[in-house]
Amino acid sequence: MTMPSTPYMQGDSEDSDDEQGHRPATGPAYSGGFSSSSDAIAEILEGLTEPQREAVLHDEGPMLVLAAAGSGKTRVITRRIARLVHLGVPPWAILAVTFTNKAAGEMRERVLSLLGHDPRLTRGLTVTTFHALCARLLRRYAERAGLKPDFTIYDSGDQASLCKKVIEGLQLATSTWPPRSALSVISNAKNDLMGVESFAASASDFYNKTIARIYAGYEKALRAANAVDFDDLLVITAKTLQRDAEVRQECQRRWRYLLIDEYQDTNHAQFVIASMIAGASSKQEQQEGTPAEAPPAFAGGFSSLSSSAARSPAGPSIFVVGDPDQAIYGWRGADVSNILEFEEHYPGARTVALGENFRSTAPILATADHLILHNKRRKHKPLFTSKAGGEPVEVVLCRDEHHEARLIADWLRGLHDEGEQHATRTMPSSPAKRRGAEQQSESVAWRDMAVFYRTNALSRVLEEALRDAAIPYVIARGTAFYDREEVRNTLSYLRVVANPADNISLERIVNTPTRGLGDAALSHLEAFASAEGEPMLEALHRASEVRDLSPRALKGAQNFVALINAWTAGGTFMGAQIGSSLADLVARVIDESGLRGMYKKQAETSKSDADAQRLDNLDELISSARQFETTYDPAADPALESSPDHQLLPPMLAMLRAYLESVSLVADADAVDPAQGAVTLMTLHAAKGLEFRAAAVVGLEEGLLPHSRSFESPAAMEEERRLLFVGITRAMRRLLLTNAAYRTLRGMAERTIPSRFIDELDPAHARISNQASVLSGLEGTRWVDGSEGNLDEGASRLGRPSRFGSRPGSSSPGGPQSGRGDWPSDIRTTDAARRLTSPGGTSDPSFVPEPSGDTPPFKVGQRVRHPQFGSGVVRSISAGVNARAVVDFAQVGRKTLVLEYARLTAER
Ligand code: ATP
Ligand code: MG
């Protein structure tokens, strides 16, 4: 398993040589530094449309680029950065912020290549995410922000454990007060910069009053553990910037050009951070209560970069790009009014619209456009391309999730093996015409294809189908590696080493492997720690003072403390035993903690692959530390910067903290690695900003997409529509949308209702095919509940017409209109149908699986006959239990048939 890249990017900070060497003269920003070559500028402007040029060439002052999907917003940001540098703006004065580490990495790469990878032009350039920026600022200004510099960043799992303890400590039942629900309310409050007191003051009912108590306890516990959660990274930074003029001024002096991508998804805290760094407009200053006049320059840190704190009379150079139609994080507190009201926040701001889409074909754009027109709260921006042609969007209704997954696998395989013009095998069209098209089309590489879904739970069945079809894939779940039990355990040891107050991590591993510190011993230790007002680790140190501790537990505590002391040289990190290698420290922790021994024994006993894999993952973690070590630059570590308190920070401890921070900030989208040569599976949320030649969106069903939590709120429903819009607009050339008539969720197979969004697609550009109840794909399948999976029933329950079944020219010979009388008499149930039976098992007794050997019964190119479809030619065939053949039939076009049920015979 490979790990996603971490957000520490080399050069992601100032560099002192550079500061001196390329410091511009005081005065106008463009006066000094590099000579600007007109050739280089011409190259930067090459291929841009007129409005794109206008945005790139914009000089000083605020600018808003409000433009549709795929119109070049991100491209404009990268070109603008390159242009600024060529004009003489020092790279360290530029701060570009995006939403994922991956996007930041790509943006950086694009800028580096525009600047010819010349380190003089790029050193000190900051391209980062909001969270990584904040983590960096908080390390640097920890004390001023009210934190200790060795703080730990808690992820959602840690947060849930901590919140659970708080809820239990308040004598509340976690069944009535689920920690994750409480955390969601707390998170929203934090992102609105609402602290414990103001939340408590505004709480009027029992529910909110109780949440206020949980919030207070949770905050107290976080600070006691010297930890921050993800929201805190933003919130504490925003508040520090608002409150502390020196910190604010330092940031403003350092970063004179701020560029933000995907601005539509900023929340209030991010908005404040951006405006504080940009130099708030007068309106903002009035609102936030910050002084308009800057105090004298702060002597240390960034202020040495430039004595020119004077801002342009044109206003702060904040340059934001975004598309309100792609605002998909409202549920997490993002506020689209940040972009809609940009001109109010920054009077005099210039606005540019970009217009033309350069990513997708006309049918894909028309589909996206038609869908988003159903949102009422929006200003319409046309989506158009000057390119002609393009395949229609394919929409296929499948029987169940297994059918859907196999259909997707076939589609991907077809694009890969036969090229872009490959039509869905289930689509009717003349085989001759299609063959002609196939000859012209180029194969689509696996890495250029993606499958999107609304929730992660949908990925499992897809994975199975892709594995069966031997299609390489990666799941963009960046945190997955670091979430594995063995990896988390190791990281928990490391976190205790880095932050002795981290009780949550300590409790996770203090008795893993077992060392006599069971629940009873822990509660004695906890009681002692809480009475003394000390962290748990201190209680372990003083275990001999803890009453009622068994001799075994006492021994266990002493052993544990001895381990930690050995790794930290008694907490100093200065001893000879602490080498300079982070990887060596990680290896020591794995070995000496007993984790490796424990997992080894487990693997030997169980002989399972999964357990053997755990040992590999431990080694992979050591490699990740080694990799980090090679890219880590102490000069770029904010914790080692000028603040006198940090001067003494042992280098090993600084590196360990930076490593743990980088691991905490990994996000799902970071795992997308086009170099991997694999199809990407990811959530729609993680897909934003990306593009793929071919993309499929699965699960277009009521309750899934739109998600059930949006049913009650028109605003949330519009956000769901935007989410599908984002998915659709990722596709460059081919797009497939699917749903399933039956889906097993939480262990129950349920009849689904097709998504209302399907009815909102443009029929002129979509080819819709109902495969749920037709004799294609899974030949001879019948549902055990007697239904044929006709979706009209579901649709009519919603009181709206459905295209399925009523669409003329339906691809199926049976069609959804066909009654049961159309089914062949020797019908059999499929695996899927059997899964639909009750747990007691009432599956069709006539089902007798036919033996299927490893050798396919037909050859590619062979002529075959199907009782209903007539004569055809086998195009491809697979072996095994679920062997399937792709057959081009003269009358009905291409079909994928499950051989076991298809009743194909060789034609002579
Ligand atoms: P999104 O809204 O999805 O974030 P975006 O507006 O940021 O999209 P980009 O990703 O910058 O759009 O560009 C979309 C695609 O169009 C990219 O492949 C980009 O290289 C290409 N592109 C942008 N502008 C031009 C242009 N002037 N000429 C040719 N291709 C372009
Ligand atoms: Mg973009």
* Lowest mean pLDDT, pick from 266-270, 345-349, 645-649, 652-656: 645-649
Q: Report the helix count and the strand count for the chain, using DSSP H and E.
A: 36, 21
In this prediction, residue 43 carries a pLDDT of: 84
Please say whether the beta carbons of 111 and 123 come within 8 A: no
* Ligand with an atom nearest the CA of residue 729: 1
Q: Per-residue pLDDT for 669 more than 90? A: no
Contacting residues for 744 by C-beta, under 8 A, at least 6 apart: 400, 401, 750, 835
Q: For the residues 752-770, what does the mean pLDDT come to?
A: 92
What is the helix (H) or strand (E) element at residue 171, kind and residue range?
Answer: none
pLDDT value of residue 530: 87
Over residues 877-882, mean pLDDT: 64
Dump pLDDT digits (tens) for 530-580: 898 888 999 999 999 988 889 999 999 999 999 999 888 776 666 544 567
pLDDT, tens digit (0-9, with 9 covering 90-100), for 367-407: 999 999 999 988 877 788 888 889 999 999 999 999 999 99
Instruction: Report the percent of the chain where pLDDT is more than 90.
Output: 43
Which pLDDT does position 157 carry in this prediction? 83
Asked if residue 832 has pLDDT above 50, the reply is: no
Q: What SS3 state is found at 885?
A: strand
State how far the Cα of 501 lies from the Cα of 398, in Å rounded to an integer.
53
Residue 296 pLDDT > 70, yes or no?
Answer: no
What pLDDT sits at residue 722?
A: 97
Report which listed range, 63-72, 153-162, 274-283, is most confident: 63-72
| Model confidence at 311: pLDDT above 60 | no
- Index of the ligand 1 atom closest to the CA of residue 77: 11
pLDDT of residue 272: 94
Better pLDDT: 849 or 520: 520
pLDDT of amino acid 420: 73
Q: Which residue has the higher pLDDT, 447 or 879?
A: 447
85-123 tens-digit pLDDT: 988 899 999 999 998 888 888 899 899 989 888 888 888
Please report which confidence band the pLDDT of residue 156 belongs to, taking 50, 70 and 90 as the band edges.
confident
Ligand 1 centre from 358 Cα, in Å?
Answer: 6
- What's the rounded mean pLDDT across residues 307-329? 78
Compute the distance from residue 147 Cα to the ligand 2 centre, in Å.
35
More confident residue, 208 or 744: 208
Angle at 719 between CA 717 and CA 724, to 5 degrees: 100
Element (H, E) at 65: strand 63-66
Of 583 and 438, more confident: 583
Annotated active-site residue 730? The verdict is yes
Res 574: pLDDT:
60
Query: What pLDDT was estimated at residue 20?
Result: 30
- Residue-wise burial string across 609-643, b where 16 or more C-beta atoms lie within 10 A, e elsewhere: eebebbbebbebbbebbeebbeebeeebbbbbbeb
Distance 680 CA to ligand 2 centre (A): 18
Higher-pLDDT residue of 89, 747: 89
- Give the Å distance between the CA of 671 and the centre of ligand 1: 22
- Alpha carbon of 689 to ligand 2 centroid (Å): 4
pLDDT-based confidence at residue 360 (cuts at 50, 70, 90):
very high
pLDDT band, residue 590 (cuts 50/70/90): very high
Closest to 401 (Cα-Cα) out of 879, 749, 720: 749
CB-count burial class (<10 Å; 0-12, 13-18, 19+) for 204: exposed
Q: What is the pTM of this model?
A: 0.71
Of ligand 1's listed atoms, the one at least distance from the Cα of 689 is: 4
Whose tokens are 């933000």? That residue is 260
Task: Give the residue, out of 74, 79, 448, 732, with the most ligand 1 atoms within 8 A of its beta carbon, to mutate for a pocket test.
Answer: 74
Catalytic residue among 326, 680, 683, 781: 326
Ligand 2 centroid–CA 67 distance in Å is 10
Name residues contacting ligand 1 (CB within 6 A): 47-49, 52, 67, 69-75, 323, 326, 358-359, 689, 691, 729
Q: Which amino acid is located at 852 in the chain?
A: S
Check pLDDT > 70 for residue 652.
yes
Catalytic site includes residue 39: no
Residue 479's pLDDT is 59
Above 80 in pLDDT, residue 697? yes
Q: How many whole angstroms separate alpha carbon 379 and alpha carbon 67?
A: 11
Digit-coded pLDDT (tens) for 596-635: 999 999 888 887 777 878 888 898 888 888 878 887 877 7
Structure tokens of 157?
A: 């799992």
% the chain with pLDDT above 70: 75
Of 68-72, 521-525, 616-620, the range with the lowest mean pLDDT is 616-620
- Is the pLDDT assigned to residue 182 strictly greater than 80? yes
pLDDT of residue 837: 25
**Rounded to whole angstroms, how far apart are CA atoms 18 and 119?**
10
Q: Give yes or no for residue 659 having a pLDDT over 60.
A: yes
Tell me, yes or no, if 261 is annotated catalytic.
yes
Give the closest residue (by CA) to ligand 1 atom 24. Answer: 72
Measured on CA atoms in the order 636, 641, 642, 647, is the torsion positive or negative? Answer: negative
CA nearest neighbour of 727 among 775, 761, 689 = 689
Arithmetic mean of pLDDT, 132-160? 89
Task: For residue 46, report the distance from its CA to the centre of ligand 1, in Å.
Answer: 14
pLDDT for 68 equals 93
Average confidence score pLDDT of the chain? 78
Residue 480: CA atoms inside 13 Å, Cβ hemisphere, count?
16
Query: Cβ contacts of residue 361 below 8 Å, gap of 6+?
Result: 385, 387, 389, 390, 391, 732, 733
Per-residue confidence (pLDDT) for residue 792, from 0 to 100: 35
* Atom 23 of ligand 1: nearest residue by CA position: 72
**Whose C-alpha lies nearest to ligand 1, atom 11?**
72
Annotation marks residue 367 as catalytic: no
Q: Which two tokens stand for residue 614?
A: 């755990």
- Whether residue 8 contacts residue 662, with contact meaning beta carbons closer than 8 Å, is answered with yes
The Cα 538–Cα 529 span in angstroms is 7
Task: Please tell me what DSSP assigns to residue 754.
Answer: B
Q: What is the DSSP string of 476-543?
A: --TTHHHHSHHHHHHHHHHHHHH-TT-HHHHHHHTTSS--S--HHHHHHHHHHHHHHT--HHHHHHTG
DSSP 8-state code for residue 707: B
Q: Ligand 1: which residue has its CA nearest to atom 14?
A: 70
Distance (Å, whole) CA 600 – CA 763: 58
Whether residue 523 contacts residue 543, with contact meaning beta carbons closer than 8 Å, is answered with no
* Residue with CA nearest ligand 1 atom 4: 689
- Return the pLDDT at 166: 94
Rounded (5°) CA angle 635-639-640: 40
pLDDT over threshold 80, residue 675: no
The strand pair at 318-322 and 905-906 is best described as unpaired
Q: What are phi and psi of 267, to 5 degrees?
A: -100, -175
For 428-463, write each residue's pLDDT tens digit.
Answer: 444 444 444 444 467 899 999 999 999 877 888 898
Whether the pLDDT of residue 812 is over 60: the answer is no
In terms of Cα–Cα distance, which of 780, 756, 753 is closest to 868? Answer: 780
Task: Say which residues have a Cβ less than 8 Å from residue 24's Cβ, sequence separation at least 6.
Answer: 30, 31, 32, 33, 88, 89, 90, 306, 308
Which one of the listed residues 6, 12, 52, 73 is annotated catalytic?
73
Residue 31 has pLDDT above 70, yes or no: no
* DSSP labels, 281-308: -HHHHHHHT--SSPPSPPSSGGGGG-S-
Distance between CA atoms of residues 325 and 591, nearest Å = 51
- In the set 6, 14, 52, 74, the catalytic residue is 74
Q: Please identify which of the residues 229, 246, 261, 401 carries the catalytic annotation.
A: 261
Average pLDDT on 227-249 reads 94
Q: Which of 331-335, 590-594, 690-694 has the lowest mean pLDDT?
A: 331-335
Bond into 295 cis (ω within 30): no
- Is the pLDDT higher at 13 or at 174? 174
Tokens matching residue 256: 């004179």
Between the two ends of the chain, the Cα-to-Cα distance in Å is 50
The more confident residue out of 178 and 482 is 178
Provide mean pLDDT across the span 319-324: 96
Residue carrying structure tokens 């949330």:
716
**Percentages of the chain per state (helix, strand, coil), in multiples of 5:** 45, 15, 40
Contact 164, 183 (CB under 8 A): no
Exposure of 647 in the CB half-sphere (CA atoms within 13 A)? 5
pLDDT of residue 885: 79
pLDDT tens, position by position, 253-293: 999 999 999 999 999 999 999 999 998 554 444 454 443 33
In angstroms, rounded to a whole number, what is the distance separating the alpha carbons of residues 478 and 6? 10
- For the ranges 245-249, 356-360, 852-856, the lowest mean pLDDT is seen at 852-856
Least trusted range by pLDDT, from 51-60, 256-265, 818-827:
818-827
Residues 768-792, mean pLDDT to the nearest whole number: 46
What is the structure's pLDDT at 377? 83
* Residue type for position 763: P
Which of 262, 404, 670, 701 does the annotation list as catalytic? 262
Q: Tens of pLDDT along 5-24? A: 433 333 333 333 333 333 33
Both tokens of 269, joined, read 């805290």
| Calpha distance 283→155 (Å, rounded) | 35
Give the whole-angstrom CA distance, residue 789 versus residue 612: 43
Chain-centre distance for alpha carbon 718: 21
